[in-house]
């Protein structure tokens, strides 16, 4: 046998010096400080333990006992005995190594002797423990080296895979929970119980007091047409440009949504939408136009349900009969009648393409608003239809040629269109957040309305055109504010801008009304005298129209002759702030600049506001708020709301009314408004702004207040046209068309209310009282919504309360 030497056996430094402690294990770093007895004992114990485990468990008990004994000896400071024991063990090992190996039986039988071999020494427990520690250290180093040899990418990849798997599983679970919660949140207030309500009636129906329909506005429909009666190319054109996969998807087009998102992202803006035709129908039938994520989820859920319930043909049919196509037209039948004056069944391919093109932006791209853009968009529709194989090349060429010749032929505008637009806004304000149709009993006198429109057209086309005037406006109302006629321009078909309500113009001398009324409030009277002389207020030097001054005059004379210098002086004595305060009491709501020139009407106001101010003088209370609605019916609820033009908190003009009436009367009899004279009582005031840019006349008889404005939309000057000329003449013709004056003198303030009407043999009081009595008999709630507020967020007729824009809900006057 080869020598079985104990590894790293300690060598004696010199003979006779005695044995030294066991050498440090190999794992101990070279040059490090020697370990303590306790550290050596611990290392030996664990090495022996691991060697015993490696041999199947033999000697575990002995190794543990020896290790614990050795540790105890080290802790008790018995280092000397440990050294002696080591020396004795070394002697025994040397003796065993030198002892000859015993012969085997076979050797003894043959008579031969065994070769001289060295007997392996029996190592001490401490040595075996040290060797075990070294072996364990070597194995650990080997494992570390093997791990270092593994590619780092493999280790990272393995970790990444497991982390990804667990992360995806967690995200999937979290996504399911969140999606379920979002879905519940989105659909909890959907109209799932009634998936298909009937199409609504026109948004606004205006009727007279007898219940006869005058006109409809807001939603123009021309009847419901089944899909099989429409031309085949119409649904093909609509689906080609709006939802080319309509016949394939289940109501929500995931592919289309992804395509739209990518195109919008690539272009940096919204260039394409992802809504299907079914989703667009859902918005028309069920949902409000809010652009929120919740509304989008609701839209998708309802679209899926609608597809399952109705099917493709029925959805397309409903869509074509209900989509908005501009100019108040809802549905293809209405648009065909409005734009092309023909039934939908007779639409050509080119006309169908234009109507399909209108859907994307109906208020901008329609044949009436912008014919060229509508044609361009129509050609795009035809190109898409050709690319999808829905029309051939010959049909495309023929329709493209026809597209260049298409001209819209809208039906003529009906009388009362300006009035209808204004009433629609008032009805929406009064009704608040009310869904469904509105039925309005209007204050309009259709006969007077038609006559007023003709009077204005004739005046502008004749003497007005000669004087450089191109536009005008007329408002006629009763003293309590009920509008009987409203003309917002010469031709509604050419311009829908309502100059009676929305145009802000300089009123000129018609604004002298609040100046002289303020003087009466301060204690003056029509005979009070004041100088009409040149005046200089910090460089502002107003002059009279003819450049001459009248000297000392009475208030009545200054007002009747419209003397500017006297009026500015009077406003300075009264105070500009007081003039503004009186103007607000009269209901003038425009921006009033507190400068000396305010007295001559340099601040811009509307014709409607100024007519209301003059109506307040005749009524004897202020303010008077104009209204075109006598009553309002909310859908099919049976709820009727009465409307009055007077404010319940109105200021009574008891002391100042009659003096002001006498001065207004003097304008017509002796002043600048002589052309407005009629048989009976008439009073009013002329007004002309600087350079004749605006010409006004506002006045009244004993029963009707009429305001007239003449001018140009571009504010260009007219040729010496004043308020006392053409406007006064128009005023006279309108008043005479309404029946003229029925009295020679001004009526008393008390006679203005209540207005009595006679029907058959029954005499009734005001319209509001009549409606209240009728509603009470029918058990309906009745409220005077004018007592609520000028503007509010919503109105609830069931308990006669309204919700202001801030603060709690408030009760109206019943």
Query: Which of 483-492, 723-732, 787-796 shows the lowest per-residue confidence on average (mean pLDDT)?
Result: 787-796
Q: State residue 375 phi and psi, 5-degree precision.
A: -65, -45
Positive/negative CA dihedral, 550, 551, 553, 555: positive
What pLDDT score does 705 carry?
98
Query: Which of 100-109, 169-178, 354-363, 559-568 shows the lowest per-residue confidence on average (mean pLDDT)?
Result: 100-109
Is residue 110 over pLDDT 90?
A: no
What pLDDT score does 17 carry?
37
Domain boundaries defined on the chain: 37-148, 220-403, 449-759
Residues 636 and 639: their CA atoms lie apart, in Å, by 8
What pLDDT score does 590 carry?
84
Listed ranges 129-133, 209-213, 394-398, 406-410; the one with the highest mean pLDDT: 394-398
Q: Residue 568 in contact with residue 600, Cβ under 8 Å?
A: yes
Is residue 116 over pLDDT 80?
A: no
Q: Residue 644 in contact with residue 667, Cβ under 8 Å?
A: no
Q: State residue 216 phi and psi, 5-degree precision.
A: -120, 145
Residues 677 and 686: their CA atoms lie apart, in Å, by 13
Return the closest-CA partner of residue 601 out of 567, 630, 627, 554. 567
Q: Residue 126 in contact with residue 67, Cβ under 8 Å?
A: no
What pLDDT score does 231 carry?
96
Where does the pLDDT of residue 466 fall: very low under 50, low under 70, confident under 90, or very high at 90 and above?
very high
Right CATH for 220-403 from 1.10.3720.10, 1.20.1290.10, 3.40.190.10, 1.10.3810.10: 1.10.3810.10
Condensed to tens digits (0 to 9), the pLDDT of residues 265-310 reads 676 655 556 688 988 888 777 655 555 666 677 778 888 878 888 8
Q: Residue 681 in contact with residue 743, Cβ under 8 Å?
A: yes
Residues 706 and 640: their CA atoms lie apart, in Å, by 29
Residues 814 and 799: their CA atoms lie apart, in Å, by 9
Helix count and strand count (H, E) for the chain: 26, 20
Tokens of 678: 């009629």
Tokens of 618: 């005749």
CATH homologous superfamily of 449-759 equals DD-peptidase/beta-lactamase superfamily (3.40.710.10)
Is residue 111 over pLDDT 50?
A: no
The vertex-595 CA angle with 591 and 596, nearest 5°, equals: 130
Task: Outline where 684-811 has alpha helix (H).
Answer: 726-737, 767-778
Condensed to tens digits (0 to 9), the pLDDT of residues 27-42 reads 333 344 444 454 565 5
Where does the pLDDT of residue 117 fall: very low under 50, low under 70, confident under 90, or very high at 90 and above?
very low
Is residue 5 over pLDDT 70?
A: no
How far apart, in Å, are the Cα atoms of 535 and each of 93, 555, 567, 580, 599? 140, 17, 11, 21, 14
Residue 745 or residue 679, greater confidence: 679
Where does the pLDDT of residue 211 fall: very low under 50, low under 70, confident under 90, or very high at 90 and above?
confident
CA dihedral 359, 362, 367, 371 (to 10 degrees): -100
Residues 436 and 612: their CA atoms lie apart, in Å, by 32
Instruction: Kindly report the pTM of this predicted structure.
Output: 0.56
Query: Which of 87-101, 307-321, 491-505, 699-713 shows the lowest per-residue confidence on average (mean pLDDT)?
Result: 87-101
Coil/strand/helix, residue 708: strand
How far apart, in Å, are the Cα atoms of 279 and each of 179, 246, 341? 20, 11, 30
Where does the pLDDT of residue 399 fall: very low under 50, low under 70, confident under 90, or very high at 90 and above?
very high
What pLDDT score does 445 carry?
92
Residues 319 and 798: their CA atoms lie apart, in Å, by 34
Active site residues: 242, 509
**Averaged confidence pLDDT in the chain:** 77
What is the distance, to the nearest Å, from the Cα of residue 345 to the centroid of all Cα atoms in its chain?
37
* Topology agreement, domain 220-403 and domain 449-759: no
Is residue 467 over pLDDT 80?
A: yes
Tokens of 487: 């003309």
Return the closest-CA partner of residue 530 out of 500, 501, 495, 572. 572
What pLDDT score does 681 carry?
95
What pLDDT score does 774 carry?
42
Rounded mean pLDDT, 124-144: 76
Tokens of 316: 């397309």
In this structure, are strands 694-700 and 529-532 parallel, antiparallel, or unpaired?
A: unpaired
Residues 668 and 678: their CA atoms lie apart, in Å, by 9
């Amino acid at each position: 046998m080869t020598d079985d030497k104990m590894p790293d056996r300690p060598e004696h430094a010199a003979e006779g010096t005695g044995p030294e402690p066991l050498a440090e294990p190999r794992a101990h770093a070279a040059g490090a400080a020697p370990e303590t007895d306790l550290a050596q004992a611990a290392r030996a114990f664990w090495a022996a333990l691991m060697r015993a485990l490696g041999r199947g468990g033999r000697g575990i008990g002995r190794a543990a006992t020896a290790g614990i004994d050795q540790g105890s000896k080290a802790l008790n400071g018995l280092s000397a005995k440990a050294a002696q024991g080591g020396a004795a063990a070394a002697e025994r090992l040397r003796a065993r190594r030198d002892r000859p190996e015993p012969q085997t039986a076979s050797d003894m039988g043959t008579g031969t002797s065994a070769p001289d071999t060295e007997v392996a020494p029996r190592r001490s427990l401490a040595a075996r423990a040290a060797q075990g520690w070294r072996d364990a250290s070597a194995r650990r180093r080997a494992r570390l080296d093997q791990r270092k040899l593994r590619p780092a990418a493999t280790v990272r990849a393995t970790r990444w895979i497991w982390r990804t798997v667990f992360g995806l599983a967690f995200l999937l679970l979290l996504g399911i929970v969140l999606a379920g919660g979002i879905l519940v949140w989105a659909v909890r207030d959907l109209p799932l119980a009634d998936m298909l309500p009937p199409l609504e009636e026109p948004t606004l129906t205006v009727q007279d007091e007898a219940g006869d329909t005058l006109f409809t506005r807001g939603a123009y429909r021309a009847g419901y047409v089944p899909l099989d009666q429409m031309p085949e190319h119409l649904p093909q054109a609509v689906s080609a440009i709006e939802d080319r996969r309509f016949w394939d998807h289940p109501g929500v087009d995931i592919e289309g949504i992804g395509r739209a998102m990518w195109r919008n992202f690539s272009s940096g803006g919204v260039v394409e939408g992802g809504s299907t035709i079914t989703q667009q129908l859902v918005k028309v039938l069920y949902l409000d136009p809010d652009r929120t994520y919740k509304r989008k989820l609701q839209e998708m859920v309802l679209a899926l349900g609608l597809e399952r319930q109705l099917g493709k043909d029925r959805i397309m049919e409903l869509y074509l009969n209900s989509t908005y196509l501009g100019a108040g037209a809802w549905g293809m039948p209405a648009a065909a009648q409005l734009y092309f004056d023909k039934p939908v069944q007779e639409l050509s391919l080119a006309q169908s393409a234009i109507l399909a093109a209108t859907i994307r932006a109906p208020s901008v791209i329609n044949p009436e608003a912008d014919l060229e853009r509508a044609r361009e968009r129509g050609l795009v529709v035809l190109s898409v239809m050709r690319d999808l194989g829905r029309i051939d090349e010959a049909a495309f060429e023929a329709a493209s040629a026809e597209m260049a010749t298409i001209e819209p032929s809208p039906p003529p505008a009906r009388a009362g269109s300006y009035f209808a637009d204004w009433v629609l806004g008032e009805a929406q304000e009064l009704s608040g957040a009310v869904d469904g149709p509105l039925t309005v009993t209007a204050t309009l006198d259709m006969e007077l309305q038609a006559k007023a429109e003709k009077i204005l057209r004739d005046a502008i086309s004749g003497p007005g055109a000669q004087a450089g005037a191109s536009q005008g406006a007329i408002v006629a109302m009763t003293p309590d504010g009920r509008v009987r006629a409203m003309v917002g321009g010469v031709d509604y078909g050419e311009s829908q801008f309502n100059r009676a309500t929305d145009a802000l113009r300089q009123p000129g001398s018609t604004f002298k009304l609040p100046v002289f009324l303020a003087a009466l409030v301060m204690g003056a009277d029509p005979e009070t005298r004041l100088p009409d002389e040149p005046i200089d207020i910090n460089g502002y030097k107003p002059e009279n129209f003819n450049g001459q001054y009248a000297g000392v005059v009475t208030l009545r004379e200054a007002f009747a002759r419209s003397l500017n210098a006297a009026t500015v002086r009077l406003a300075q004595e009264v105070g500009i702030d007081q003039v503004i305060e009186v103007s607000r009491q009269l209901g003038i709501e425009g921006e009033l600049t507190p400068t000396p020139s305010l007295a001559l009407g340099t601040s811009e106001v509307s014709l409607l506001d100024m007519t209301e101010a003059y109506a307040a003088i005749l009524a004897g209370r202020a303010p008077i708020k104009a209204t075109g609605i006598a009553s309002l019916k909310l859908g099919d609820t049976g709820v009727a709301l009465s409307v009055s033009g007077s404010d319940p908190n109105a200021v009574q003009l008891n002391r100042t009314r009659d003096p002001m009436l006498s001065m207004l009367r003097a304008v017509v009899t002796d002043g600048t408004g002589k052309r407005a004279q009629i048989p009976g009582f008439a009073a009013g005031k002329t007004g002309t702004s600087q350079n004749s840019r605006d010409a006004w006349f506002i006045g009244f008889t004993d029963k009707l207040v009429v305001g007239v404005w003449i001018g140009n939309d571009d504010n260009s000057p007219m040729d010496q046209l004043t308020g006392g000329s053409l406007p006064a003449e128009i005023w006279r013709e309108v008043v005479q068309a309404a029946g003229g004056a029925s009295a020679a003198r001004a009526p008393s303030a008390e006679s203005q209310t209540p207005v009595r009407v006679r029907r058959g043999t029954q005499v009734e009081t005001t319209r509001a009282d009549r409606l209240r009595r009728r509603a009470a008999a029918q058990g309906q709630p009745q409220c005077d919504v004018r007592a609520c507020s000028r503007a509010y967020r919503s109105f609830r007729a069931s308990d006669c309360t309204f919700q202001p824009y801030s603060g709690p809900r408030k009760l109206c006057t019943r």
